[in-house]
Structure 1
């Protein structure tokens, strides 16, 4: 701590020199604040040599911060070129490029100080950070007008700007006119070629470069990886004179993106050291490719080694948890985040809301949402989507109204969430209203996904003719999802004619669309047209398409248990089938009559059909849950296919008979069974 006693008798010039000398020894925030206060008290702060030094220290991340630096700058009466460049540079380095551009505009309005060779590169870099190409071009014009067009650093910054914004023609023209092509400008140009996929031009420039650094090699490795030439990328990687962590990460990332997981893992194991980016590349790489178990294994290995993950790695781990619906694992990660000071205001808040929603705990998702003080669009959208999938459409629409009142503007994804919520609840008029609101009030042009949601809304409600006509009027070519929604609606409502029409369109788009064959076959089976069922199955054999077997998952004590219909492979199968028999007896006593129309196999005899229904995968999972899940805790089941009508009726009764909440996630939504009723109100 400094002990300062200002003396009013000291001459101002000597006083300012003393203060500058003291400022040069400043190493802590407390010392900075003390000295800043002293310069104000002794009236030396208005001297530009002193205020410039205070500003420089304020921009040092070790002892200052951006907000403090701005407050210092705002009190400098006549900032010079150095102070302007300092604060603009600080804005860029703190990832506040918008502020940098605004400050640059204020500098121009001052007209007393002209931007110089230090200011231009900083503000151009800010434009590059947010691809503000139009603003960048205007600054380029000002550069030429003020005579800085020949400055090497300014021109290199412009090359980098145009490369970052994909304006490769302008970048090349500027680059070729550079009198001296240094490493920085060459690397910027190299990165620009890779960004737009011009790998041949990148290789040519790389070969011509008089000097290269680790960045040069890494960019080329990344370029070849992105265009699928992983062997060439590996060859360049092997030729590197010295490999940095960045180059190792780029090579592993390239392998992961191309699905070369074994080779990526092999390279990962041979690394001399790893950083947070390395771990994130591995976890995110597995998660993005649907290898959720492997993603979580790497994440656990990282924690066991004492490494601390960053926000991106935790978000990838939470996404993997969502894919597997491992609620207990998700809760553990949430606890880890709390203990290690992770903030929920940004991406992680969204990831947690999505994780809890997808794992069947919408209550926890709401708790996380309400705990976020400054809610961003992504947080509102995540909870609106989650509530809709859980059948809580009223709550979803209510939160949308709150979001509007708070001044947050929705985006196209928000409206997809709203339309899905309306679809799952049968709110046709509300869905149409939100569809029109999207364009009329927010200027969002409906994409194919929004039209798909509207088709799904109509099909679920049984308005198949209206949906068919609506598809014909869609201003873009309908995709497979839209036709599958129509086919699914036809299967659920027994409209074979329109169903065949929809199936033909799907098959024209994708001859091996397994879902289409299954829905068509099930539609024929439900109407007893077994000859057509045989025809469809013969086509499936001819195209090599195989039906995905129905399976149900349930998590218990950190282990996921998987069941298929009639499964006898589980270690506890004897107890499970004994519980299944008990369930059947209790269902019968409570008046349940099996709906044998849900048997989509050509089986003769009522008892045989009832037996087939009784061993559906979700019933085996529920039996396991009744044996193992503590009373008072919900049984959570994940199913890969749509829940059949009979299983839906059975699960409602079981929730009442055994006094358990049973939560089932099928391939389109969540069903919350409690006290003999379901959250979907028998509409799904």
Structure 2
């Protein structure tokens, strides 16, 4: 790793002869508050030759790691120049890594540290926090073992970090075990356990710890609101929210998100309107919540409002609104959002790239979907999945299969969604043999257990080609209950190929699974009519009348130019 180079500051006088440590007074180091000031004194120390004094170099390390400066690159460079860094210096750099979201580097640094030093009560909380952020529970347990071995298990900061780590990694029983061993349980410790229980869905235990707490803060209340909201117990979450002595943005956002997940988008909107202030997380919760509840136009309108009066949209916002546009299939709006991304310099990487491909595919512009796909420099499996599914959706089987083969040549291993896209492509193109081949490849070569959707695609392939007996046999041998789509495929194939026996069998099973499926009665009636069984047609229509099932009128929509 290259050492960063510093130029001496022109604002500081350069000495004409070698100087002693006293030339760089301690008060000068103490007075540095900004990065610019630290850099000036650092440059001066290099020219005077005082930097390499252990006390001076260690002090510069601490200054660069301070929250007011927080320059990891300079801190790391200074650390490398220290001849024999002591444990304090290792601790400073370790903590700086964690605070800069470089937890993997922090854990690696810790393993270097233990070769020369025994960690202390300042080292351990930082590395435990790093393990928690990485969800590296096995490494965290190893550190816990070291804690016990070196006798730091009674330090309250180490104990608190252990409770937090186990809670965040889902090892709530271990968190509780450490918690119970602690004599005086402070507020931070109790909050860590409440948060852990809430994350794991064990909200009753979270409430029990909450009720036993001698004092509570805003985090305590908010963790409960969030926990009950995520578990779908929205009324209890609202009760706790209403009892809060004060509220912050996190508690409002947690409740809004909870209402959206439980279908209460009207109440969520009321809360949104009542909020004193909103952040981008609030807006994202509302837009994604509307999309989740199928309120696509509401999501789009709220996004337009955000552009006028809210904070700057982020990747999460764009993913949510693109999903809403996909639901509406309004290509013009999708292109407009894409143009906003281009103007803002937002690259279609990661999930955002997948969302764009999905949007263009669902809006019918496969060419645009392919253009986005080709523009992504570092393609991940999700991008390949999205374009293969999109091509399959539009019957472009050869193109989808070609990309599937190219993906495998790139060394990416297809998973369940990839095969679903390929099977759908085979279904739309009537490629029966290839469909069977890919289904078998998925199971035998890739070890993927087929889901009901994979069986539905395979059965649809067979039914479209008239292989009804084979489709029926697969349906009866499935390890799970066939769903509505499978029975509809079998019934549709039977109607198209005039197999009344299998058609009646499929219709009977479909009525058992989903008795209100209008298409079932319509196809059954059409099948009987094609076979000249008019008495059966009358019987089906009478059954529809008794069950008050009406054939809905079809509808369609067009996208009008310049429409808002």
Q: Normalising by the residue count of structure 1, what TM-score does the alignment of the two structures yield?
A: 0.73
Match of 1:608 in 2: none
- Partners of 1:491 and 1:139 lie apart in 2 by 66
- Does the C-alpha gap of structure 1 residues 190 and 18 become closer, same or farther in structure 2, counting only changes over 3 Å? closer
The answer to which structure has the higher strand fraction is 1
* Contact map agreement 1:350 1:378 (CA 8 A) in 2: yes
In the alignment, what sits opposite 1:137?
141
The CA deviation at 1:369 is 1.7
Change (3 A) 1:548 1:41: farther
Distance change in 2, residues 1:154/1:304 (3 Å) = same
1:555 paired with 2:559, answer yes
Query: Are residue 254 (structure 1) and residue 258 (structure 2) matched?
Result: yes
Partner of 1:101: 107
1:536-547 aligned at under 5 Å gives the runs 536-547=540-551
Provide Cα deviations, 1:517-560, integer angstroms capped at 9, x if missing partner: 44434433444434334433444454455544322221112549
Distance 1:244 1:45, change over 3 A: same
For the residues of structure 2 that align with 1:77 and 1:401, how far apart are their CA atoms? Answer: 54
The equivalences for 1:425-440 within 5 A come to 425-439=429-443
Q: How many residues matched?
A: 556
Alpha-carbon distance between aligned partners in 2 of 1:437 and 1:63, rounded to the nearest angstrom: 55
Q: State the secondary structure of the residue aligned to 2:236.
A: helix
Offset, 1:86: 4.0
User: In the alignment, what sits opposite 2:132?
Assistant: 128
How far is the alpha carbon of 1:477 from its aligned partner?
Answer: 4.1
Structure 1 position 315, deviation (Å): 1.0
Q: Which of 427-436 and 262-271 deviates more? A: 427-436
How far residue 180 of structure 1 moved from its aligned partner, in angstroms, is: 2.1
Contact 1:73-1:87 within 8 A present in 2 as well: yes
Q: Any idea what the Cα deviations from partners look like across 1:67-116, whole Å, max 9, x if unmatched? A: 776666666664543444444444444444444433333434xx102333
Are 1:27 and 2:31 counterparts?
Answer: no
- Structure 2 match to 1:586: none
Structure with greater helix percent: 2
Aligned partners of 1:341 and 1:185: how far apart in 2? Answer: 43
2:494 matched to 1:494? no
Other-structure match for 2:289: 285
Q: Write the distance in 2 (CA, Å) between the matches of 1:17 and 1:494.
A: 97
Give runs of aligned pairs for residues 516-535 of structure 1, distance below 5 A: 516-535=520-539
Match of 1:340 in 2: 344
When residues 241 and 53 of structure 1 are mapped into structure 2, their CA distance, relative to the original with a 3 A threshold, is: same
The CA deviation at 1:144 is 1.4
CA distance in 2, matches of 1:454, 1:66: 54
Higher mean C-alpha displacement, 49-58 vs 131-140: 49-58
Unaligned runs of 5+ in 2: 1-6
**Equivalent of 1:81 in 78, 87, 91:** 87
Give me the whole-angstrom Cα distance separating, in 1, the residues matched to 2:547 and 2:506.
Answer: 19
Displacement after TM superposition at 1:266 (Å): 1.6
Q: 1:231 to 1:395 in 2, by over 3 A?
A: same
| Distance 1:543-1:136 versus aligned 2 partners, 3 A rule | farther
Q: CA deviation at 1:318?
A: 0.7
**How high is the TM-score relative to the length of structure 2?**
0.87
Pick which of 281-290 and 225-234 moved more: 225-234
C-alpha contact 1:20 1:50 (8 A) present in aligned 2: no
Paired with 2:443 and 2:74, the residues of 1 have a C-alpha distance of 42
Question: Pick from 389, 406, 418: which aligns with 1:385?
Answer: 389
Which structure is richer in relative contact order (CA contacts within 8 A, separation 6 or more)?
1
Using the TM superposition, give the Cα deviation of residue 515 of structure 1 relative to its aligned residue in structure 2, in angstroms: 4.4
Whole-Å Cα distance in 2 between the matches of residues 186 and 177 of structure 1? 13
Cα 1:384–1:517, aligned 2, differ >3 Å: closer, same or farther?
Answer: same
Please say if residues 330 and 356 of structure 1, whose CA atoms lie closer than 8 Å, have aligned partners that are also in contact.
Answer: yes
Structure 2 vs 1, CA of residues 221 and 131 (structure 1 numbering), >3 Å: closer, same or farther? same
Any idea what the Cα deviations from partners look like across 1:141-193, whole Å, max 9, x if unmatched? Answer: 22212222212122222222222233322222221222122222211211222
Q: Which residue pairs with 1:612 in the alignment?
A: none
1:282-681 pair list within 5 angstroms? 282-439=286-443, 442-559=446-563
